[in-house]
Structure formats: C-alpha cells, structure tokens
Amino acid sequence: MDSQNVIEIVGLKKCYTRKEGSSGLKDLLISLRGRTKPEEYWALQGIDLTVKKGSTLGIIGNNGAGKSTLLRMLCGLGQPTKGTIKRRGNLACLLELGAGFSPEFTGRENVMTTLLLSGLTRSDAMKRLPEIVEFSEISDFIDTAVRTYSSGMWLRLAFSAAICTNPELIVVDEVLAVGDLRFKKKCLDRMLKMKEAGKTIILVSHSMDQIETICDQVLWLENGRIREYGSTAEVVQNYKKRAFAVTLAPSKVAVESSGPVAKFREGAAEMELTRVWLSNEQRQPIDAISPGDPLNVHIEYSPNGLIAEPNFLVGLYREDGIKIYEASTEADNVSVGDVATNGGITLTFSELPLLEGYYYLDVGIFEQNWNRAYVYTSRISAFHVIGHTPGKGVFQPPHRWEANKGDER
Amino acid sequence: MYRIIHYRDLLIDLTLRQVKIHYRRSVLGILWSLLNPLLTLVVFSFVFQQVVPLNIKHYSAYVFCGVLAWNWFSSSITMSAYTITFNRELVRLPEFNTAILVAVNVASNMVNYLLALPILLGLLIIDGLYPGWNYLFLPLILLIQFMFTLGLSLIISALNVFYRDIGHLVSAVIVIWFYITPVFYRVGDSKRGYEWVFNINPMALILGMYRNIFVNTEMPDIMTLTIVSIVSLVILLIGYLIFNRLKHNFVDEI
C-alpha cells in the first residue's frame, strides 16, 4: 500500500442477498436441497478508489446509489463480496451516532464506554473526557441518565465523543443534518479544523453546501458505480444539473431548451410554435444560467394563413408550479403586427435574479382580444439556475443593508 | 500491550454495565441476583430432605454449591445465543472485537456467582466446614469453568446469528443437561453402569471439584483437574476458531 494513501479500494463489489422470512435451519435444509435462490441486490458494482492522506472527499448520489454501503465497507462493517479494501490509520466512524448509548446510564458513563469501545484504555479515556464534555456543552447534565436527554443533547454528546478521539480518518454519514444551527456550525468548524490539521475526511451528505464547504474532491455514485470523481466544483455542478433533470423527467417536460416542442398543447392551431429556445447574451443556446444572468427566450412560429396582430405570452414558472412572472406583448404595449409568414420573436430578461432551481416556460399565442388561444403549450422549455445565493425564497431582489445606530455625535 | 490493557478495561466496563443494567432502578437492586439461587436452595432443601430424602451430608451447602455454579453456566449459555443478535449497535461498531461481548456475558454471570459466594461460605461455616488452604484451587476452577462456558458460548452466539433456531435448541438442551448433571443429587447414588454419563460431562466434573473444595474440604482430584483443564481449553480454542471464521459476516446478517 502506498504510504501516501489512507484508503485503497480495488474492484469492490457488494451483494446483499434478500431472504424471504427469517433465517433459520429450515432455510438451511431447503437450500441444501437446492430449491431456493435468494434474491440478490448488488449495492456496489465495482468501485475503484484511492484516497490520499489529508484529502477531504465528499460522496454524493441519490438514495440507493450505494453511498452508505460504501461508507460501511470503509469502516470495515461487512465483507466485500468481491474486491479489496485497504485502510490505514485509526478511524472515527460517525455513522450511527450514539447508537451504543444506553439510556439508563449517565452521559459520563456512556461516553466512557464509547471511548473504550473505540480502542482506548481507561486511563486514556479519562484524559479525553473533559474535552468531550466541554465540546458537547452539556456539562450540567453529564451525570444524569441519558434517557432524560433531548435528542439534540444526545446527539451533541455522541458527536463530541466520536470526534474527540483524535482520529486520522473521519468518516461521516449525514450526521451534520441534525442538531441546532449553532451546534451544526460548531461541528462544521471542528471538521474544517481537522481538515487543516491534515486529517482525512470522508463525508456523505445531501447538502451540497456542506460538501462544498468541506470537501476538495467529490465522488458521485449512481447505482453502485462511480459516475464521476473529481474536483468539488465540477462534480457538484454536474450532479445538480442531473438531479434537477431527473426530478422533472417523470412529468415529461421538454428538458432540452432547443429540443422539439412539447406535445401537450391547447389551441385552435391557426399558428404553430415551431421552436422555442433559450440563449445567453451572446445568443448562444443554453440550458442553465447563474442567478442574475440575462436570458433570451426565442419563439419561432409558423401561421396557417394571415393572423391579425396576435398576442404573445410567456409564463415563467418554478419547478413546483409557482408562477414567477407572466409577460405578454399586449401588457408591455408591443405590437407584432399582422403575421402571415414564418417568423420569430425574442423576449429578453435583462437579468433574472432567480434562486437556484429548475424553471420552465409556458408559451402561448392568442387572438388579439384574448378570446382564444391559437396555440398554448405549457412546459415548452426549461432551464436550470445554478449557483449559490445567500438568501432564501423565490427570487433575489437587489438589496443592501444600512445600519443606523442613533446619533454619533 | 496497550491492546491488552484496552481489552481488560473494556471487559470490566461492559461487564459492570451489564450487571448494573439489570438492577438499576429496581428497589432491591443487586439483591435480586441472590434471590433466585436462594429460592432454588429452599425448594431443593425441602424436597430432597423432607419429601424424598437423599441422605446427603451438609445438603444445603452441597446443593447451593451446585446451584451457584450451574446457574452461572446455564444462564451464560442460554443468554449467549443472543449476545450478538441483541447487540446490533455494538456489533456494528468499526474494528470492534465482538468476541468481547460473549466474554462479557460469561463474566457478568460470574459476577452473580461471586456475589452469592458469601452466602455459600455462611452455609458452610454453619455446618462447621471452614475454609482452608485448599481454597487456593478455587480461582483455577473458576477459570476452567469460565473457559469451558466461553468456548461453548462463542460457538452458540456465532451460530445463532445465522440460524436463529439455535437459541431455542440451546434452551431445550440446557434443561436436559441440568438433569444429567448432579446439581441436587449425588453421582454415587446412580445405578451402576451409568457413571460414564457423568464422566463425559465436564459440568459434572467441575461441580465435583467445587464440592471437593467447599463441602469435602479437600483438594480436587489432580487427574480430573488436568483432564477438565485440557478439555475446556480445547473447547475454548474450537469456539474461538469457529467464532473468528463467522464473525466477518455478522454485520451483514443482523
């Protein structure tokens, strides 16, 4: 094993056999006669991975992608069906925090046992205890049975006990998802400190913010295989695009902005929408923007005969159906005039301060007096907004703060 | 060396925990562990002195001596089936040697034995049987019983992970085993031709040695001592080998 590496995984495969009912002698007898064939589930289907000392690796992927299985394997829980795992250095696994705690015992007793279980001797554990109690911030209750603890206290103590053992390699599964904000930040800071101290951290999280804060590299798992492995910025961005696209796919949205016009449409069909596409400032077709970027919506149509002064309408919706804005030529006092031949019209949003997410557009062409639609197609086009915005909500209005602390004479 | 101290500390901590958890928040607390053997003692004394007299000298001490050792053995064995399956959280800890859990189970039952020992000594002294230098053999016999029990426990606990029938099977076997072990009767009272049952039963031999020390105030038979030591050691080794073969698959099974 290379001395620079903390983890070396070669061709790792993990198969779980799902047995019907309980395991027992009956099953053994039956299987000896070769009748049953247990159902197999390949949680990991060939993983090769080396983790260098001091690196911080995030593992992302949808539910069932194999993240937790991989993490468990890393911690030595369960045997690889195929392949090998090599690991160096002492390890702290923050997988099932506080699972070993016994409610009847005090916080101090439980921490003591946890430390002993993690491989320390009693005298070493005693030395660590004060730091753990301090970090957990529950020193007033440390000699109370943990059954009286709130879930937050329980977790804080468990996290403190796990992280204060001075490990070389820390494996964290989603644990920062709980606890109050302030303690969460404290844990995060602690992990960053450990990162600076050259520890190796492996983190599974659904929070891209956490991943981006802590990790240098990201491993994207999909269906038990590595889909991408590289720098955090790159992989996270690709993952986001993909994740948003997958969420909408079942509703048959035309995901590609330059793709064919979506099929579910209404209208009398005096006019057809031949193509709707999106572009950036340079008029290059795009399917994703950053918050605050400009966006052009190009609508190309073909009329069946002469159409007198049609109204164009573009509705902008968020993924969950919230209408962000609806623009129409009439409302904006724009006249297209009579239309007889194929043509196009472009709507330009000079800036779209939308928050990260997935958005779609409805496009319609209506009779002059809005009596009826010539054509109206919902979800004809869609795009992502990718990028971090500091606030929360639907959109980000330009804003600033100004503090007035009374007269400063 | 560090590992050995670590294992020692862990074993002590988990054993005390196991003992404490049984009695925490109960009024009588640890006294409960004495109540069970005392009740057994009362029943046996009544039945086999008054109802069906067996004419065994110092019967109370004789029977209590057997009951204590047998209780340690049988509760350890019966509970051993569930030491792995009921400790899912601990088994799933990384780098945790699960064999410790099995040892903890045997050790915590031994604590109950040791706690009841003063009562046995009391019974002996009432009957005029005073402790002597032969008590030096006691730790050795405790160790032998520990090894024997641990060896069997390792096998049972590991197998029960894969075949949950083992736990039920063991409970049934222990009941039969109780009757072929001279806990409340004497080997010499059995019909001729059945001595072999007791000679191949390590628990019968171990109980015999306890009685050598406590009731007969004599040294245990060196020949028996040697044979039982070897048998226990072999059982422990076999148990550990089987356990080690199977333990890697525990996490996937529970």
Q: Given a cut of 80, is residue A255 above it in pLDDT?
A: no
pLDDT (average), residues A359-381: 84
Distance, in Å, from the CA atom of A246 to the CA atom of A244, rounded to the nearest integer, reads: 5
- Chain A contact set for B93 (CB, 8 A): 93, 100, 117-118
Nearest chain B residue to A162, by CA? B93
pLDDT at residue A210, as a whole number? 80
Confidence of residue B172 (pLDDT cuts 50, 70, 90): very high
- Does A299 contact chain B (CB < 8 Å)? no
Q: B38-55 pLDDT, tens per residue?
A: 998 899 889 888 888 888
pTM (2 d.p.): 0.69
DSSP conformation letters of A223-263:
TTEEEEEEEHHHHHHHHHHHHHHHHHGGGT---STTSPPPS
pLDDT at residue B80, as a whole number? 94
Q: B206-232 pLDDT, tens per residue?
A: 999 999 999 988 889 899 999 999 999
Give me the amino acid identity at A229: Y
Please give the mean pLDDT across all residues of chain B.
89
Structure tokens that stand for A327 in this block: 């623009």
Confidence of residue A340 (pLDDT cuts 50, 70, 90): confident
Q: Which residue do the tokens 């005390």 mark? A: B16
pLDDT (average), residues B153-159: 95
Confidence of residue A17 (pLDDT cuts 50, 70, 90): confident
Structure tokens that stand for B103 in this block: 């040892």
End-to-end, the C-alpha distance of chain B in Å comes to 32
Per CATH, the homologous superfamily of domain A54-74+90-246 is P-loop containing nucleotide triphosphate hydrolases (3.40.50.300)
Q: A91-106 pLDDT, tens per residue?
A: 777 777 777 788 888 9
Q: Which residue do the tokens 């072990």 mark? A: B181
Q: Mapping DSSP to helix (H, G, I), strand (E, B) and coil, where does residue A165 land? A: coil
Find the helix packing angle between B202-214 and B222-246, rounded to 10°. Answer: 130
Q: Mapping DSSP to helix (H, G, I), strand (E, B) and coil, where does residue B122 land? A: helix
Single out the residue of B126, B96, B219 nearest to residue A115, CA to CA. Answer: B96
pLDDT at residue A96, as a whole number? 73
Find the helix packing angle between B138-162 and B222-246, rounded to 10°. Answer: 30
Sequence spans of domains, chain A: 54-74+90-246, 265-385
pLDDT at residue A380, as a whole number? 82
Q: What percent of chain A has pLDDT over 90?
A: 5
Per CATH, the homologous superfamily of domain A265-385 is abc- transporter (atp binding component) like domain (2.70.50.60)
| Beta carbons within 10 angstroms of residue A324's beta carbon | 14
Of B21, B162, B251, the CB nearest to A77: B251
Of A75, A79, A113, the CB nearest to B17: A113
pLDDT at residue A395, as a whole number? 86
C-beta atoms of A72 and B251 within 8 A: yes
Task: Tell how many helices (H) and how many strands (E) occur in chain A.
Answer: 8, 18
Single out the residue of A12, A52, A60 nearest to residue A173, CA to CA. Answer: A60
C-beta atoms of A77 and B17 within 8 A: no
- Does A342 contact chain B (CB < 8 Å)? no
C-beta atoms of A100 and B21 within 8 A: no
- Contact criterion met (CB below 8 Å) for B91 and B251: yes
Confidence of residue A252 (pLDDT cuts 50, 70, 90): very low
Out of A207-221, A323-337, A355-369, B20-34, least confident range: B20-34
Q: Mapping DSSP to helix (H, G, I), strand (E, B) and coil, where does residue B217 land? A: coil
User: In this predicted model, which residue has the larger pLDDT, A261 or B91?
Assistant: B91
Give me the amino acid identity at A65: A
Q: Given a cut of 70, is residue A22 above it in pLDDT?
A: no
Out of A221-225, B190-194, B225-229, least confident range: B190-194
What residues pair up with A230 in beta bridges, in sequence order? A218
Highest mean pLDDT: which range of A105-119, A273-287, B72-86? B72-86
- Does A247 contact chain B (CB < 8 Å)? no
Q: Given a cut of 80, is residue B249 above it in pLDDT?
A: yes
pLDDT (average), residues A166-182: 74
Q: Given a cut of 80, is residue A261 above it in pLDDT?
A: no
Q: A290-307 pLDDT, tens per residue?
A: 888 899 999 999 888 888
Of A102, A119, A125, the CB nearest to B17: A102
Q: Given a cut of 50, is residue A247 above it in pLDDT?
A: no
| Beta carbons within 10 angstroms of residue B114's beta carbon | 11
| A211 Cβ neighbours under 8 A, 6+ residues apart | A58, A60, A203, A205, A218, A232, A236
Sequence spans of domains, chain B: 2-253
DSSP conformation letters of A376-387:
EEEEEEEEEE-S
A225-231 and A200-204: which strand pairing?
A: unpaired
Distance, in Å, from the CA atom of A163 to the CA atom of A157, rounded to the nearest integer, reads: 10
Which long-range CB contacts under 8 A does A142-149 form with residues at least 24 apart? A142/A106, A142/A107, A142/A108, A142/A111, A143/A106, A143/A107, A143/A108, A144/A106, A144/A107, A145/A103, A145/A104, A145/A105, A145/A106, A146/A101, A146/A102, A146/A103, A146/A105, A146/A106, A146/A107, A146/A110, A147/A103, A147/A104, A149/A107
Structure tokens that stand for A22 in this block: 């309980």
Q: What percent of chain B has pLDDT over 90?
A: 55
Distance, in Å, from the CA atom of B218 to the CA atom of B213, rounded to the nearest integer, reads: 5
Q: Given a cut of 90, is residue A393 above it in pLDDT?
A: no
pLDDT at residue B226, as a whole number? 95
Number of A/B CB contacts below 8 angstroms equals 73
Taken in order A84, A64, A210, A177, the sign of the CA dihedral is negative
pLDDT (average), residues A247-257: 39
Q: Given a cut of 70, is residue A268 above it in pLDDT?
A: no
Q: Given a cut of 50, is residue A229 above it in pLDDT?
A: yes
pLDDT (average), residues B60-89: 92
Structure tokens that stand for B92 in this block: 């799933």
CA of A181 to nearest chain B CA: how many angstroms apart?
Answer: 27
Q: Given a cut of 80, is residue B69 above it in pLDDT?
A: yes
Q: Mutation target for B interface from A116, A129, A146: give the one with most B CBs within 10 A.
A: A116
Of A16, A28, A116, the CB nearest to B13: A116
Same fold, A54-74+90-246 and A265-385: no
Q: Mapping DSSP to helix (H, G, I), strand (E, B) and coil, where does residue A124 land? A: helix
Out of A42-51, A174-183, A308-317, B180-189, least confident range: A174-183
ipTM of the predicted structure?
0.82
| Beta carbons within 10 angstroms of residue B83's beta carbon | 28
Distance, in Å, from the CA atom of B205 to the CA atom of B193, rounded to the nearest integer, reads: 17
Task: Tell how many helices (H) and how many strands (E) occur in chain B.
Answer: 11, 0
pLDDT at residue A253, as a whole number? 37
Single out the residue of A404, A409, A354, A406 nearest to residue A382, CA to CA. Answer: A354
What residues pair up with A14 in beta bridges, in sequence order? A44
pLDDT (average), residues B222-247: 94
Neighbour-count burial of A175, counting CB atoms closer than 10 A to its CB (0-12 exposed, 13-18 middle, 19+ buried) = buried
DSSP conformation letters of A256-285:
STTSPPPS-EES--SEEEEEEEEE-TT--B
